[in-house]
Amino acid sequence: MKLFNTLTRQKEEFVPITPGEIKMYSCGPTVYNFFHVGNARPFIVFDVLRRYFEYRGYKVNFVQNFTDIDDKVINKANDEGVDFNVIADRYIKEYYTDAAGLGVNKATCHPRATETMDAIIGIVETLLENGHAYLAENGDVYFRTKSFPEYGKLSHQPLEDLQAGARIGVGELKEDPMDFAVWKAAKPGEPAWDTPWGSKGRPGWHIECSAMVNKYLGKTIDIHSGGLDLTFPHHENEIAQSECANGCTFANYWLHNGFLTIDNEKMSKSKGNFFMVRDAAKMFGYETIRMFMLSAHYRTPLNYSEDSLNMNKVSLARLYEARNNLEFRIEKAAGDAMTAEETAKLTELSAYKQKFIDAMDDDLNTADAMSAIFELTREINAYSGAHQDATKAFLQAAHALFMELTGVLNIVQQREDAAADPDAEKIEGLIADRAAAKKNKDFAAADRIRDELLAMGVTIKDTRQGTQWTRG
């Protein structure tokens, strides 16, 4: 598999540190609000990366953090007059609700910054001891950026350029404008933790990721990922801290997703041009949002628009219809062995699986992988439509292939169909009555029953194998 590595700006062959195993870390949300559709992009694409690795037989250890202590969380807590933990707990719970809706699996582990304080304090201590960080008079601890000559290697910026752009903020006591806080001295009324170096306080943002990687994955990991905006300074700082504390490479591959835009501007909380995932889901459905995200390659910009979401909604419905048709046919069909023609057809269909794998192996090209699924679907629909006597064996094999590929992307897996409908028994009864009426040539009765079904919001379709019904 090839992955584009921000560090080398090239697509590279992916080779894990330990054969068959992957250590992967992704920067997670700051939990002071619901997350918006832009935030959802990394959650979805790196969930797919993880699922794809698992599909290819790797054991994946995937860690994604919750930033549960920072200015935004504290400000929100102050606004509501509650403890910061109340805010963090609430929005972690909401994160899980939206993530589950979007089909994003829980990571192997979701550490919170405040639960990783031992490791955070440990790494700051190491940096203080080896001279890569210093304790300022006000109790802040800063990373000494110039002590790491490779600083800038991820964002490909020479030190001089970074120096020209750096400023010292109000209240900061840095030796150099490029230095950044790894520890912030306590301010009155803010939550604070004790430290061996004597200044009570809380961690800077970047240090939690360095500490969590150490604690849960080890000194060197395979893949570190996040949104493009995190490249600088967040990831650059993570590299500096970790490599200076551990004396070895921090992450071998750096993956960054492109921006989700709206009117071609980055969707962001600060600009106010965002849709909460929750609200977008009310309009289009969670799974449509997932489908939309995967319709583009993860590194390209992707523009959010009602048209685009509606198009994806229709595409998704087409895939569900294909699946439901196959399942209906399987139930009615007979034949445990495929005919020679069907065996040949199945071999032909398997080519789409290879196409899917080739696309995913090419830097996780979900857009091309999705095309392979649509081509497969078209072929299955055409063949099964033209062969009403297709064997159960063939239909099952086609269904399995379809479910395997859509399963990797985690789309079209939901089951809110017939069997789950509370009126299923009644509907099936009416359909049987209608069939009997038709058989007796009592067409007026048959039509009456059809109208009754329509009034219940049930759509029926007569096929050679019997009557299929759906809601809506």
Q: How far is the CB of 468 from ligand AMP (least distance, A)?
A: 40
Which residues from 42-81 bind ligand AMP, rule CB under 6 A? 42
Distance CA 251, CA 272 (A): 33
C-alpha 201: how far from chain center? 33
Task: Verify binding: residue 221, Zn ion, rule CB under 5 A.
Answer: no
The stretch among 39-47, 124-132, 375-383, 430-438 that binds ligand AMP (CB under 6 A) is: 39-47
For tokens 């004597």, name the residue. 198
Say which DSSP state 129 is in.
H
Q: Which is nearer to ligand AMP, 147 or 308 (CB)?
A: 308
Task: Verify binding: residue 320, ligand AMP, rule CB under 6 A.
Answer: no
Return the one option of Zn ion, ligand AMP, none that residue 29 interacts with (CB less than 5 to 8 A, by type): ligand AMP
Distance CA 315, CA 290 (A): 12
Q: Which is nearer to ligand AMP, 27 or 48 (CB)?
A: 27
Q: Which is nearer to ligand AMP, 271 or 461 (CB)?
A: 271
Return the one option of ligand AMP, Zn ion, none that residue 268 interacts with (CB less than 5 to 8 A, by type): ligand AMP
Distance CA 395, CA 390 (A): 7
366: left (phi over 0), alpha (psi -120 to 50) or beta: alpha
Task: Verify binding: residue 209, Zn ion, rule CB under 5 A.
Answer: yes
Distance CA 322, CA 402 (A): 9
Which residues from 204-233 bind ligand AMP, rule CB under 6 A? 226-227, 229-230
Q: How far is the CB of 281 from ligand AMP (least distance, A)?
A: 17
Q: Is 88 helix (H, G, I), strand (E, B) or coil?
A: helix
Q: Which is nearer to ligand AMP, 127 or 255 (CB)?
A: 255
Task: Verify binding: residue 266, ligand AMP, rule CB under 6 A.
Answer: yes
Distances (CA, A) of 463 to 52, 90, 329, 390, 451: 37, 50, 10, 14, 18
Q: Which residues partner with 22 through β-bridges?
A: 60
Say which DSSP state 69 is in.
S
In 3D, which of 138, 219, 147 has the Cα closest to residue 179? Answer: 147
Which member of 39, 116, 214, 325 binds ligand AMP (CB under 6 A)? 39
DSSP per-residue letters across 390-443: --HHHHHHHHHHHHHHHHHHT-S----SGGG-TTHHHHHHHHHHHHHHHHTT-H
Q: How far is the CB of 218 from ligand AMP (least distance, A)?
A: 22
Contacts with Zn ion, 156-195, as mask; x by CB under 5 A: ----------------------------------------
User: Contact 25/64 with Cβ under 8 angstroms?
Assistant: yes
User: Contact 246/219 with Cβ under 8 angstroms?
Assistant: yes
Which member of 27, 77, 113, 141 binds ligand AMP (CB under 6 A)? 27
Alpha helices in 6-136 (DSSP H): 37-55, 71-80, 84-101, 117-129
The b/e string for 28-64 (b: 16+ C-beta within 10 A; e otherwise) is bbbbbbbbbbbbbbbbbbbbbbbbbbebeebebbbbb
Q: Which is nearer to ligand AMP, 266 or 323 (CB)?
A: 266
Return the one option of ligand AMP, Zn ion, none that residue 209 interacts with (CB less than 5 to 8 A, by type): Zn ion
Q: Which is nearer to Zn ion, 1 or 109 (CB)?
A: 109
Q: Which is nearer to Zn ion, 239 or 364 (CB)?
A: 239
The stretch among 175-183, 254-262, 433-441, 459-467 that binds ligand AMP (CB under 6 A) is: 254-262
User: Contact 141/183 with Cβ under 8 angstroms?
Assistant: yes
Give residue number: closest CB to ligand AMP. 227
Which member of 64, 257, 312, 365 binds ligand AMP (CB under 6 A)? 257
Task: Verify binding: residue 111, ligand AMP, rule CB under 6 A.
Answer: no
Which member of 49, 267, 357, 397 binds ligand AMP (CB under 6 A)? 267
Which member of 3, 27, 48, 291 binds Zn ion (CB under 5 A)? 27
The stretch among 25-33, 179-187, 288-296, 331-339 that binds ligand AMP (CB under 6 A) is: 25-33
The stretch among 48-56, 72-80, 156-164, 204-212 that binds Zn ion (CB under 5 A) is: 204-212
Q: Which residues partner with 25 through β-bridges?
A: 63, 224
268: its two tokens = 């962001």
The stretch among 14-22, 24-32, 324-332, 413-421 that binds Zn ion (CB under 5 A) is: 24-32
Binding site for ligand AMP (CB under 6 A): 27, 29-30, 38-39, 41-42, 226-227, 229-230, 257, 259-260, 266-268
Binding site for Zn ion (CB under 5 A): 27, 209
